[in-house]
Every structure is written in structure tokens, then in C-alpha cells.
Amino acid sequence: MNDIKLFVCQTDCTDPARNLAAEELLFWRVRPGEVGLYLWRNARTIVVGRNQDAWRECDAALFEREGGTLARRLSGGGAVYHDLGNQNFTFIARQDWFDTARHARVIRLAAQRFGIDAVIDGRNDILAEGRKFSGNAYYRSGVHCYHHGTILIDVDMSLLSRYLHPHPEKLAGKGVASVVSRVINLRELNPSVTAESMRLALIDAFEEVYRARAERLSTDCLPADDWDALTARYADPAWRLGEPKPYTTRLAKRFGFGEIDLQLTVEAGVITRARVYSDAMDAEFAPALAESITGAAYSRLAIADRIETLSSQWPDESRLAREWILSNADV
């Protein structure tokens, strides 16, 4: 045993706006020396990353017409499909106890309970037999942090491929031809895996990895008024879908860290508005990039100089973006 305090919060709610709101409230609630595990599921939902263009990532109109819900999370990364065959998890801690390697051990250990050997692939994927069953993303504000992700158990793969439209370069980078060929349901490997059995395995693995007993919480611990208000914000179409705005110039490229899609309004040779869409894991880079280039002259050197101001916080991303702009014949 040690001095760390653990909690587990589970919910039977399947409304994505309400579940994302609960996640954020738990995120702000976590105390020093405490690590939480939030377990939740969504009914048919596509969740896009904070900085993604929802209309390009999926067929949002078709999806919602056929009874699905499009949601947007706080973290970066790419779009994911949820249904009740998917188990979501969120590890929540303050910075001093935030340990993504430990979180990954929890997922691996839970999978091993079913005889499934899980392998960490890069920063945000967990694989079984060479195919992805868990995608992960991260968010931080001040000292508060979370790491959340999916576990594919019995997801309807036909719907996943029907609605999601990942960029072809993203799939090519993984050496696969389609989004379905890249992923796997754990029930294909062990039919005894269910959402309930996986939740129990996750809780057991969480306590084993941290060597402590977790307090069991329900979402009743959340302030009702705050939860309702935050749910309304996550359900707001302006947050979920964004507002399409006209632009005069578009520049897009996929890098190793993710895509950058610049949509610029240029007036009298000056960038008067910049929108940056991205599936980069760091959710703060895209808005910082947009802010940095707004007001710059529309020229390679002027834009590159503005991007250079981001180099202290994002050295790799800013270097690659700057080199791209300087070599771009369209600017």
C-alpha cells in the first residue's frame, strides 16, 4: 500500500454530452495525491478531436439523420466511433501523479485477464495481433490532466466504416487500406469479453498497478447544476459541429504529428482570419498557430516568422510547419 488515493466512477448514462460533461467535472474535482478512473459508454456517437473539422472527418449529416450523435471532446487527436460495444476509460490526476505509462499498464493488464497480449504502439494506440483496439488522447489545463481512450469490444464495424472518413495519407502511414482493416474487436480474440467483464478487469488492474484500493463513486457526487450547464455546452451545435466560415486560401499537409489544415481569409495582402484544423495530439497547438499567424502579411517569410514564435513550446511542430510554408509555392 502507499499514500496515493484512488477512485473509480462508473456510469450507465449513454448520452455523450452528459458523459463528456461528467468527465470534465471529475477532471476539475481531482485532488492532490489522487488518481481517478472514469468508466463510461456512449450510444452511437462519433467523437471528433477538439481542433478537427467535423464535416471533413465524417458524414455528420448522414450520421445524425440515421440516429447518431456527433460530439466534440476537449482533447486533441482524431475522430472515433462509439457504440455500446465500446468501453471508454478516463484516467484523471494532477500533474505530479499523471503517468501515462502506468495507465497503459492498466489497459495491458486488463487485456491479459482475457489471455490477450496488448502492445503499445506509438503514443496513442494499443494493439492486439497487430490491430488497434484502443485509441488514446490526452488533455491538460494547468496541473489538471486526463488520459482517455476507447476499448473496442463488440463495435459494429460496418457503421464505423460507413461514417468515418480518415484522410488516406493517415491510413497509408499505418500501412493499411481502410479504417476497418486497422482495428479489431476484442471479442474476436476472446468471446468472453463484454463491457461488464472489461470494466471489472480494468478496476482490478487499476488497483493492482497502483497497489491501492479504489473508492467507488457514482456520478451523484457531481454538482447537478454544474453538470446540467456543462452538458448543454457539449450538446451545443456550435461546439459540436463548428460554424463553417468562408475563406480565401486553404493550405493543408499531413505531418508525423498530425494534419494541419489552414483556412485563411486574406484581405489586402493580410491574413485577417485564420482557422486551423488538426488531429495533432496536443490540443493547444492548433489554436496557438491560428493566433500566431492572424494579422501577418500573406507571404512565406511573414508567416514563417510568426510560426517561429511558437518554437519554445512546440519546437518540432513549429519547425516542420515553418519549413513547409517556406517551401510552399502557393504562398
User: What pLDDT is recorded for position 174?
Assistant: 47
pTM above 0.85, yes or no: yes
**Model confidence over 272-295: pLDDT tens digits?**
999 999 999 999 999 999 999 999
Least confident piece of the model among 173-182, 206-215, 230-239, 256-265: 173-182
- 331 is a domain residue: no
The span from the CA of 186 to the CA of 221, in Å, is 32
Please provide residue 222's backbone torsions phi and psi, each rounded to the nearest 5 degrees: -85, 140
How many residues are recorded in the chain?
331
The residue among 204, 219, 240 that closes a domain is 240
In a domain, 153, yes or no: yes
> Which of 205, 240, 275 is a domain's end point?
240
Confidence at 122, pLDDT banded by 50, 70, 90 = confident
Residue 56 within any structural domain of the chain: yes
Distance CA 86, CA 84 (A): 5
- For residue 100, is it within any domain? yes
User: What is the reported pLDDT for 172?
Assistant: 42
In tens, the pLDDT along 154-206 reads: 999 888 778 887 654 443 444 433 455 589 999 999 999 999 999 999 999 99
Buried b / exposed e over 25-63, threshold 16 CB at 10 Å, is: bbbebbeeebbbbbbbbbebbbbbbbbbbbbebbbbeeb
- Mean per-residue pLDDT of the chain: 92
pLDDT at 134: 94
Domain that holds residue 124: 5-240
pLDDT > 90 in the chain, percent: 82
Among 141-145, 157-161, 250-254, 312-316, which is the least confidently predicted range? 157-161
Could you tell me the CATH number of the domain that includes residue 103? 3.30.930.10
End-of-domain residue from the set 240, 263, 278: 240
The C-alpha cell at 143 is 496541473
What digits encode the pLDDT tens for the residues 24-73? Answer: 999 999 999 999 999 999 999 999 999 999 888 888 888 989 999 999 99
pLDDT at residue 59, as a whole number: 83
CATH of the domain at 253: 3.30.390.50
Q: What are the tens digits of pLDDT across the range 86-98?
A: 999 999 999 999 9
